[in-house]
Structure 1
Amino acid sequence: MNDEGPSSRRLRWLYMASLILAGDSIYLLVYMRQSFQTSMHEVFEISYTQLGIMNSMYGLLAITAYFAGGWLSDRVATRTLLSFSLFATGLGGYYMATIPSYPMLLALHAFWGVSTILTFWAALVKATRLWGGSDDQGRTFGILDAGRGLVGAVMMTAGAWVFSRSALAADGLVDVILLYATASMAAGLCVLAFIPPDHAHGSLTHSDNSNAPAGQLRVVARMPAVWLQALIILMAYWLYLGSFEFATFAEKVFDQDKVFGASLSAFREWLRPVSAIAAGFLADRIRASRAVSIAFITSAVGYGALALIPGRADLLWMLWIQISAVAIAVFALRGIYFALMEESKIPLLVTGTAVGLVSTIGFTADVFAYPMVGWFLDNYGPATGYQYYFSILAGASVFGLFLTLTLGWQNQRGKPREQ
């Protein structure tokens, strides 16, 4: 790409900037609970369990959409899929701002499971792969994830500021919903403006064999490393979702206000780009499995400390330290857990199928994590409920460490045979 002129380079980076904006803006509405859970609980007049079921409905639709989304992304133009997804998600946000009933919120989150996964996720990955060259895919996806983290931090900071401007929680929440919905719509316009048609960059389809997907799935299903990685990602993603509870934890257990909770979530998000990039460099130096193991150990210590820390105002400094440690760990995990595929020598020919299988299993935490924490809060209260839940997450960190050590041992054992 060194022969590109300034204009071509500018358009190329506008292409990536559009993907970055789209890749995070579309999920702001779906994951609002990480900053505004208590406000949603009050404004929508629903219990924490119902709030968890609402997000679980999204997770159920999303899990069923990963494989189908990959099939769809090879048959419909990437720009069309991305722009449709962003506009549809944004329109759903405008409807959410009318404060609909609980059944309609369930339907809305099911709809978002389609618009943010079926017609979006695989298309985003495809567009990113087309942007990068064959020898710089790691850097390409690193830029995407770090950029998404930066966009998320900016938008969550803006959301916290918008929320703080309103005297009533209901007004503030509606303003935040409108902000996030408009961000999704704006990202859709950027996609239409700066992402060219697929044929301008070639195709990812290299075979007309209609039986290839089934054959590749059989090959992937026979690989123990794939199943280990699926479980590792399941643990890592569950730990990441657990970090969404930090705002509510600070509000309910440490008796802080909603603005503090939203600001805490924004601070957590600012750690994402730095953590992902640093973890990537570390993984290149010491192997991905070792870096993942370090992140699991950090997460276990952090969640264990959060389960034990008393909810006293004079211990807020400890809360910041533990939340920072957990956030760095979970964002590091998200940044590098797919790098385990290269270490495990998953054949390039079946990479897409492997990612689909791993994602389907690994992201099932969207289905059970929210109802679980909602049940703990409703039945035991915030202080005891979070003590139990964070203890479980500390145990999940230890199990993730065991899985990672097993995978690393298996990879090392397989080296002599490969050589």
Structure 2
Amino acid sequence: MNLLSKIMDDRTRYFRLCILAWGSGFIYLLPYIRYTFYEPLQKALGLDHTAFGVSMSAYGLCALVTYWPGGWLADRISAKKLLSFSYLATGLLGFYFATYPSYPMTVVIHGAWGVCTTLTFWAAFIRATKDMAGAEEQGQFFGLLEGIRGLVSTLASFTVVAIFAKFAVEQDGLTWTLYFLSAGTITASFLTWFFFEDSKALEPSESLLQDVVATIKSPLVWAVAVIVFSCYATMAIGSYLTPYLTEIMGVSAASAAFWATFWTYGCQFLAGPVGGIIGDKVGSRPNVLFVSFILLLITTIVIYFSPVDKSWAQILIFMFIAMFAAMYAIRGVYFTLIEDLKIPSSMSGAAIGFASVIGFAPDAFIYTWAGNILDTHKGVQGYQILFGASAALSALGVIISGIVAVYVYKRNKKKQVRIHV
């Protein structure tokens, strides 16, 4: 009877994990749709690069200021309610966005998406996964979640590329793409509402302020934050690889969208879990992080110095794939540094929150900056400035991850010597 109960419980948990993967795979496709359909969406909204960047900065700013409050909210309201609301609100905003509203309303929609995908979603999403896994299966569940989530995003993205390609008029294809993504996100809301149970509220920490102060003072936490920042800022600049292919290299919008889907979501499905698995196998996740940043630096340098020649388009696409594979390998590992650096469990939540605020800060400004660069420096010159910034950020990641790898190696070596003595 106990065995049967366990089997049924496992099936329920894995089914809910698939729902989480579905929802988390869909919810970010709407605000980040520009990664795949930058030029068609920009034209449909009638915006220049700067205004288009401002709308995404509104998303990033609202997301940035709600990471920590989201943790507070997730401790007091059940994940079921928060997740269901997040999916529903994001999907409904997506249907409204498909009407291509005015510029002010476009900014408002992106700001609202920032709240729905962070304040009411991110911490609740992490908590739901942790509660579902239990103490013994954290790595297994988070790794599996990342893989399924990447698969969902990949399949959904290839589907919308196919939908987009079926229409002779680009805006019609884009509209039905937005309908599909909005419907998929709302579906996750209903699945969550009907198949998840209400979680119990947690006891609020009595030492929250002390944890926050200790977090800000810790150089180890700052190292994690800078590593996340370097990777995420480079990934944000990566959203401009698609218009680079269409505007500068002469690749068709449909072909560029296909490849952008592969390097954005296919690499997540493949490289994300692989980075974590390799880190566990070799017994040194910081070393995997360091090597991945080196690969990222090499690809960004090659992209920067690549000639503007159509014959180089396929080589560039290969480099873009390698670049995103390195970034997703880094993403699959960087939050494990909380454990590798032996940051006290009493402040691990505050550490992740702080690293998220600093690390994901590029969403608040980098799109406005990049859009202004492309409007001010027309043609190849503007894109080269962006690629140069990517190389600089990658170099920063190499330096900080190298310092972290050396620190962990020396600490472990001292520990082994003490044990031997």
Q: TM-score by structure 2 length?
A: 0.94
Change (3 A) 1:9 1:376: same
CA distance in 1, matches of 2:50, 2:415: 51
What are the equivalent positions in structure 2 for 1:306-325 lying under 5 Å apart? 306-325=303-322
Superposed displacement of residue 330, structure 1: 0.7
Between 272-281 and 2-11, report the one with greater CA deviation. Answer: 2-11
Which residue of structure 2 lines up, in the alignment, with residue 194 of structure 1?
195
Q: 2:46 matched to 1:51?
A: no
CA distance in 2, matches of 1:367, 1:320: 28
Superposed displacement of residue 382, structure 1: 3.5
Which residue of structure 2 lines up, in the alignment, with residue 411 of structure 1?
408
Letter of the 1:335 counterpart:
G
Superposed displacement of residue 208, structure 1: 5.4
Equivalent residues of 2:304, 2:387 under 8 A apart: yes
1:65-97 CA distance string (max 9 Å, x none): 001000000111110000001000001001101
Letter of the 1:72 counterpart:
L
What are the equivalent positions in structure 2 for 1:375-394 lying under 5 Å apart? 375-394=372-391
Which residue of structure 1 lines up, in the alignment, with residue 268 of structure 2?
272
CA distance in 2, matches of 1:410, 1:314: 44
Letter of the 2:84 counterpart:
S
Equivalent residues of 2:75, 2:204 under 8 A apart: no
Superposed displacement of residue 3, structure 1: 5.7
Superposed displacement of residue 223, structure 1: 1.9
Which residue of structure 1 lines up, in the alignment, with residue 24 of structure 2?
23
Which residue of structure 1 lines up, in the alignment, with residue 247 of structure 2?
252
Q: 2:100 matched to 1:99?
A: yes
1:329-354 CA distance string (max 9 Å, x none): 01111111111111100112221111
Equivalent residues of 1:87, 1:184 under 8 A apart: yes
Equivalent residues of 2:290, 2:405 under 8 A apart: no
1:134-158 CA distance string (max 9 Å, x none): 0221221111111111111111101
Superposed displacement of residue 5, structure 1: 4.7
Q: 2:332 matched to 1:335?
A: yes
Instruction: Give % identity.
Output: 29
Equivalent residues of 2:278, 2:288 under 8 A apart: yes
What are the equivalent positions in structure 2 for 1:167-246 lying under 5 Å apart? 167-199=168-200, 205=202, 207=203, 211-246=206-241
Superposed displacement of residue 220, structure 1: 2.1
Which residue of structure 1 lines up, in the alignment, with residue 393 of structure 2?
396
CA distance in 1, matches of 2:339, 2:4: 30
Q: 2:256 matched to 1:261?
A: yes
CA distance in 1, matches of 2:307, 2:4: 60
Superposed displacement of residue 192, structure 1: 1.2
Q: Which runs of 5+ in 1 are unaligned?
A: none
CA distance in 1, matches of 2:344, 2:288: 22
Change (3 A) 1:2 1:56: farther
Between 311-320 and 223-232, report the one with greater CA deviation. Answer: 311-320
Change (3 A) 1:2 1:392: farther
Q: 2:337 matched to 1:347?
A: no
Letter of the 1:36 counterpart:
F
Equivalent residues of 1:94, 1:181 under 8 A apart: yes
CA distance in 2, matches of 1:195, 1:244: 34
Letter of the 2:213 counterpart:
R
CA distance in 1, matches of 2:379, 2:182: 30
Superposed displacement of residue 286, structure 1: 4.4
Equivalent residues of 1:239, 1:393 under 8 A apart: yes
What are the equivalent positions in structure 2 for 1:35-50 lying under 5 Å apart? 35-50=36-51
CA distance in 2, matches of 1:126, 1:6: 23
Pick aligned residue for 1:297 from 294, 298, 306 = 294
Equivalent residues of 1:18, 1:195 under 8 A apart: no
CA distance in 1, matches of 2:118, 2:307: 39
Which residue of structure 2 lines up, in the alignment, with residue 67 of structure 1?
68
CA distance in 2, matches of 1:220, 1:412: 23
Runs of 4+ in structure 1 off by over 4 angstroms are: none
Which residue of structure 1 lines up, in the alignment, with residue 165 of structure 2?
164
1:350-371 CA distance string (max 9 Å, x none): 2111101110111001112211
Change (3 A) 1:127 1:376: same
Letter of the 2:129 counterpart:
T
CA distance in 1, matches of 2:316, 2:388: 16
What are the equivalent positions in structure 2 for 1:124-143 lying under 5 Å apart? 124-143=125-144
Q: Please state whether the residue corresponding to 1:256 is helix, strand or coil.
A: coil
Superposed displacement of residue 133, structure 1: 2.0
Superposed displacement of residue 372, structure 1: 2.1
Q: Please state whether the residue corresponding to 2:286 is helix, strand or coil.
A: helix
Superposed displacement of residue 129, structure 1: 0.2
Equivalent residues of 1:240, 1:331 under 8 A apart: no
Q: Please state whether the residue corresponding to 2:378 is helix, strand or coil.
A: helix
Letter of the 1:263 counterpart:
F
CA distance in 1, matches of 2:337, 2:388: 27
